[in-house]
Chain A
């Protein structure tokens, strides 16, 4: 059964860069049926799609974050990564990675999800 696991620092200072990695196990990221996505959820709030990456490196990003986000993939390590620049307190959230079944223009459903990683932005 495919599993995803987020890893990375739980605390980031304002104006610095948030970096997370999602390791995929019991399955290959080299799959031309799926993208690989990052989604976040501020505590007690709803869900926001950040962006998605294909195994070849092609990406889709949420326009609201595009200027600050980079998502990359490393097929040799079977993982993909998120970098979010110039973070503020508003970026404090649980960050999830997920497999993304893309249907149209970078949009589709997410299944399965990683357990999530809480990242707090604070000095």
Chain B
């Protein structure tokens, strides 16, 4: 199974700042088959990004994804109050699809 390691574990930032989250895979993820999700307390995950850089329907353009191979990044250009949450990456280039352990973006 492909293991995804997310960093940092927790990121403390203020509204308006830029957030950069990393997702590193134990093996190359084929065809940029990587998704990002946002999860708020008590809620289900919400799809943000698929195919490494394609935004899901209704996702604001302050969210962007990049990367290929084993290194992927989620960037939030300017944090809004509603963006403070936990973010998960997921690879689907090979079965079983697997998730990272999550990165928390908290208010500084």
Chain A contact residues, CB within 8 Å of chain B: 45-49, 60, 62-64, 96, 98, 101, 103-116
Kindly identify which residue among B37, B44, B92 contacts A107, using a CB–CB cutoff of 8 Å: B92
Report the tally of A-B residue pairs with Cβ distances under 8 A. Answer: 69
Residues in A whose Cβ lies below 8 Å from that of B90: 47, 109-110
Contact yes or no, B95 A107, CB < 8 A: yes
The answer to whether residues A109 and B101 also contact, given A46-B88, A47-B45 and a CB cut-off of 8 A, is no
Chain B contact residues, CB within 8 Å of chain A: 30-31, 33, 35, 37, 43-47, 50, 56, 88, 90, 92-102
The residue in chain A whose Cβ has the minimal distance to the Cβ of B96 is A62
Contact yes or no, A105 B45, CB < 8 A: no
Contact yes or no, A60 B47, CB < 8 A: no
The residue in chain B whose Cβ has the minimal distance to the Cβ of A65 is B96
Nearest 8 pairs between A and B by C-beta? Answer: A107-B92, A111-B47, A113-B44, A109-B35, A47-B99, A107-B97, A109-B50, A62-B96
Kindly identify which residue among B31, B46, B96, B101 contacts A46, using a CB–CB cutoff of 8 Å: B101
Contact yes or no, B95 A46, CB < 8 A: no
Q: What are 20 A-B residue pairs whose CB atoms fall within 8 Å in the complex?
A: A45-B101, A46-B102, A47-B45, A49-B98, A49-B99, A63-B96, A64-B96, A98-B44, A104-B92, A105-B94, A105-B95, A106-B95, A109-B92, A110-B37, A110-B47, A111-B46, A112-B44, A112-B47, A113-B45, A113-B46
